[in-house]
Amino acid sequence: MTDTEITDRFVIEVSRVGTVDHIVDLDAESADRSPYSPRQDLPGKKLCDRSSRSPASEYIELRDYADWKELDTTTFEGDAPDEICSYCWAEVRKEIENVEQHAGEDIDGRIGTVGYRLRWKQKGRARQEWYDIVVRPETTMAELDTLVCRFTTLDDFHLRMYGLEDEYMDSTLNVIPDHQFTEVGDPSYTKASEMSIADVAERATLWEGDRLSMVYDFGTPSHHYCIVKEIYDSDEIETLLDERDLITATATAATIDEKRP
């Protein structure tokens, strides 16, 4: 990612609210509306949820912000300046590192042929509880859903849907369990058995550090997500599953590790 691409994409949102300024990803689809004018969409996506946004905010490139505040940095390197939200800064650093890592590997040639270790968590309980699920390329979202539901103890009284990153209710995959597809009868959704991990990976260029999401109950939603912790070639998956005591398993996937309260 070049300096120009970075400065075109990430800008400082200067607000009169709060003690620090935040960072907005202008390439991200806006999910924010002004609390003062609910019909007004705000540009991009703020990289943390630790303050509200204002339509009166200004958006400034880091170089100009550094000149204004007399900072000694004009790039997103090292620790965040005191004037800028450290959570937003860390998200920018993570994205830059992911892009650089992707550029240095033959990812495009491997997507669709590798498996993943997916660490599943529930928002609000991420430190107390997580589960590692290993999936092969051919694992269907239906099999993954089976394993996810075993540890979350989610029932089938409410709709659940899988998506990319932090999409949740705004899923671009629209993947739901097969039996719920039958009940809903909406062709805009996709049956979980008809989409594989390889399909998802090819759509999202899924790699280490990336995420998938799942929302349960559209009325009073709970949010679950996974982080890609490891990438495995086919031989590595077989060796791993042969050597580990599996907690639960399907034909092509298994829960291999967990942290429980």
Burial 81-97 (b: 16+ CB within 10 A, else e): bebbbeebbbbbeebbe
What span, in angstroms and rounded, lies between the C-alpha atoms of 182 and 178?
Answer: 6
pLDDT given for residue 196 in this prediction: 98
Task: Tokens for 93, please give them.
Answer: 């650093």
Q: What is the DSSP letter of 251?
A: S
Note the helical H segments in the chain.
3-9, 62-69, 86-103, 107-110, 141-152, 178-184, 197-204, 234-243
pLDDT given for residue 104 in this prediction: 60
pLDDT given for residue 34 in this prediction: 52
Phi-psi region of 100 (alpha: psi -120 to 50; beta: other; left: phi over 0): alpha
Task: Tokens for 129, please give them.
Answer: 């509880």
Give me the residues of the chain with pLDDT under 70, please. Answer: 1-2, 29-40, 102-105, 152-153
pLDDT given for residue 71 in this prediction: 93
* Strand blocks (E) in the chain: 10-14, 22-25, 45-46, 58-60, 115-122, 130-135, 160-164, 175-176, 190-191, 211-216, 222-232, 248-249, 253-259
Q: What is the CA radius of gyration of the chain?
A: 20
Q: Closest Cα to residue 240, out of 116, 105, 109?
A: 116
pLDDT given for residue 2 in this prediction: 67
For helices 141-152 and 197-204, angle between their N-to-C axes, nearest 10 degrees: 100
Q: Closest Cα to residue 116, out of 98, 90, 141, 137?
A: 137
pLDDT given for residue 248 in this prediction: 94
Which domains does the chain carry?
3-103 (no CATH), 113-259 (3.10.290.30)
What span, in angstroms and rounded, lies between the C-alpha atoms of 99 and 102?
Answer: 5
pLDDT given for residue 244 in this prediction: 92
pLDDT given for residue 215 in this prediction: 95
Could you report the per-residue pLDDT of 97-137, keeping only the tens digit for each? Answer: 877 776 666 777 888 999 999 999 998 888 888 999 999 99
